[in-house]
Structure 1
Amino acid sequence: MFECDQFASRFEIYLANNGLFSFLGPIYQFVPTPFPLNDGRRVIAGFWSDIDTRSSIPSGNKVYYQIHVNQSNTIVFEKAVAYVQQYFPGERSFNPSMIITGTWYRVGAYSYQTNLVNTFQIILATDEIRSFAFLFYNDLQWASPSTSSLIEVNSSSEIGGQAGFNAGDSIIYEMLPYSRTSYVRRLVNT
């Protein structure tokens, strides 16, 4: 959890090991509930699943976050503006004042599984009025904790990780293609 006093009011964003940002309170649930969530939870899910960071693997199994404010890192702000202009062409005047990045780097699945690892990132950019979230996927080798080998990856019975967002109002939400299926690993190519 980190607090932001940036916009004349304090708010909290929770970065969870289980692959998401949540607002208003932490989410401890490892197995994702399909969107829309009917309980007011506000979530940006990069890869909501039962991620286990207890194992030690060389240069990995870590979750990182960074907060950039007031153009503190011009490259980060320039990239965020470029993404908004590219994917939301009607928002040409977007000038973010804060960017939060969460990176899940080479993370394994529950029960100390590190033979397959995932790397993904959530970027949240805001100008105090509008906010944009971007989900980036570098490598998704496992779809769910039940996937213990590449042979099992295409099992139709497993519930894969969930990606997207839920606004907390039971109306506005988006689940990315392949969410909750063994094919969620295809997000790397989208």
Structure 2
Amino acid sequence: MSMKVNNNGDITFDAPMLQYTSQAFPIIGSHKIIAPFWTDIDTRKGGSLYYRTTTQNADLLRGTNKIRSLFPNIIDFSASWMMVVTWEDVAAYGCSPSDTITCQQWNTFQLVLITNGIQSYVVFNYNKITWTKSSQVGFNAGDGVNYYAVPGSMTDSMLNLPRMTNIGIPGQFVFRVDQTNITNTDVIDVCASLPCVHGNCSNEYLQYLHYVCICQPGYTGFNCETEINECQSSPCIHGNCSDHLNHYTCHCLAGYTGSNCQIDIDECSSSPCVHSSCTDLINGYVCNCIPGYTGRLCEIDIDECQSSPCFQGNCSDAVNHYTCHCFAGFTGSNCDIDIDECASSPCVHGNCTDKVNGYVCNCVPGYTGVLCETDIDECTSSSLCVHSSCTDLINRFICNCIPGYTGRLSEINIDECQSSPCFHGNCSDAVNYYTCYCFAGYTGTNCKIGMV
């Protein structure tokens, strides 16, 4: 009799299994089947199938001891041949690389056939079962009568195979298969082997050949063998997480507090800003100073006089402003304007020249005084008009000559003889008149009358 190892989690006798999808046992007219996990498997998506036969003494001794320990009434059994078939990390058929549900889940299980040529035994080992697609586990004789199906076959209960057993060892089954009826070992209290590392074992599901571990707080896994990483869910929102048994501790980043570092510490709560409003930041704050203050805490009154804004004056500092006290002659908010003292036209008869805090009048000729308000009296000098009276004018004078005088200063005696008024005589000039001295034989004022 030949055996065929099939990808889909079973071995058959005489001919390979051409049907990929599983069926519930019994199946009439089918092959003889040993099925540790008959389902639709695709090794092209990953995983491997290994099988070997052995007659090595060490292997046979292990197999013999295994069977004798489980079937104590069979003391003369000695294995002569063994076959080991392993499906390692196999995926489900029909998945695609983008299918995160099935293509990233793998099963690992094993079938071991032990025989001495007369008595035959089968061991099912389940290391990891993470997916199932109506999986059939058991034996089928092909006659429609003789078969055995592990309870829960064709249901999602097959996901529990790593913690199911019929020998008290989670994930392992042993059957005698050389008789018409498949023989189980006596059902053992699976909790007796203390499979739950950190938890209590419940055998209330013993009728399904498995147990349930009720884990202590902080542990998980089929056998409560895994300490739960309380930090795995990243509970510390703004901090680093330290994992402990059944709890965690958050070490908050600067600026955060709370059991999960979820609270931003309000650094403004202590009112650190003296003359401002406060804006809270992460692990800090910013003071928004009101005008006129500076410094980290807005505690410094800005000295607006520091920049010497008063050009011609003294500066008095105040909050957010300053006052300039101008020197004489200057005005403006910054004392930067020279007051124009000429703006009021103070010079009556002259041009005004502005000075700092004053002015100078440049008088037009004929005037004097600070404001050029005084007409200069050009007649004040008694020697000006010699033979006349003086009339003062603007920047000049006029001599009003007495009769007989002429010239700008009336200094010239008019020569009344110049016109030769004496026709027949000599002329003698005097002030404002003349005298004719007639020649003999003439008479008259101008000597023009002849004497007879």
Q: In structure 1, the residue corresponding to 2:103 is in which secondary structure?
A: strand
Alpha-carbon distance in structure 1 between the residues aligned to 2:128 and 2:161: 9
> 1:178 corresponds to which residue?
152
Return the TM-score normalized by structure 2. Answer: 0.34
Deviations 1:76-132 (A, max 9, x none): 222211221233222221111110010000100002453100000000011111111
Equivalent residue in structure 1 for 2:73, among 73, 86, 90:
90
From the superposition, tell whether residues 83 and 167 of structure 1 become closer, same or farther in structure 2 (CA, over 3 Å).
farther
Equivalent of 1:107 in 66, 87, 90: 90
Aligned residues: 158
TM-score, normalisation: structure 1? 0.78
Shift of 1:73: 4.7
Aligned to 2:18: 28
Report the CA distance shift for 1:37/1:87 in structure 2 as closer, same or farther (over 3 A): farther
1:133-185: CA deviation from partner (whole Å, max 9, x where unpaired) = 111100000011xxxxxxxxxxxxxxx21111112232221101221001101
User: What is the match of residue 130 of structure 1?
Assistant: 119
* 2:61–2:79 Cα contact (<8 Å) kept: no
1:51 corresponds to: 41
CA contact (8 A) 2:135 2:158 kept: yes
- State how far apart, in whole Å, the 2-side matches of 1:16 and 1:118 are: 15
2:106 aligned counterpart, secondary structure? strand
**What amino acid sits opposite 1:141 in the alignment?**
T
Gaps of 5+ in 2: 96-101, 165-452
The equivalent position to 1:118 in structure 2, one of 107, 116, 130, is 107
Larger radius of gyration: 2
Q: Would you say the 8 A contact 1:178–1:186 is kept in 2?
A: no
Deviation at 1:40, TM superposition (A): 4.3
Cα distance in 2 for residues equivalent to 1:108 and 1:121: 15
Q: Which runs of 4+ in 1 moved over 6 A?
A: none
Distance 1:63 1:73 in 2: 24
Kept in 2, the 8 Å contact 1:21–1:43? The answer is yes
What are the ranges of 5 or more consecutive residues in structure 1 without an aligned counterpart? 1-10, 145-159
1:171 and 1:83 map into 2 onto residues whose CA distance is: 29
Distance 1:185 1:77 in 2: 31
Superposition deviation, residue 49 in structure 1: 0.3
Counterpart check, 1:67 vs 2:53: yes
**What's the secondary structure of 1:128's corresponding residue?**
coil
- Give the corresponding residue for 2:60: 77
CA distance in 2, matches of 1:167, 1:101: 21
Q: 1:95 to 1:36 in 2, by over 3 A?
A: same
Aligned-pair identity in percent equals 33
- Contact 1:19/1:47 (CA < 8 Å) preserved in 2? yes
CA distance 1:87–1:172, change in 2 (3 Å): farther
8 A contact 1:46–1:121 mirrored in 2: yes
Distance 2:121 2:143 in 1: 18
CA contact (8 A) 1:107 1:114 kept: no
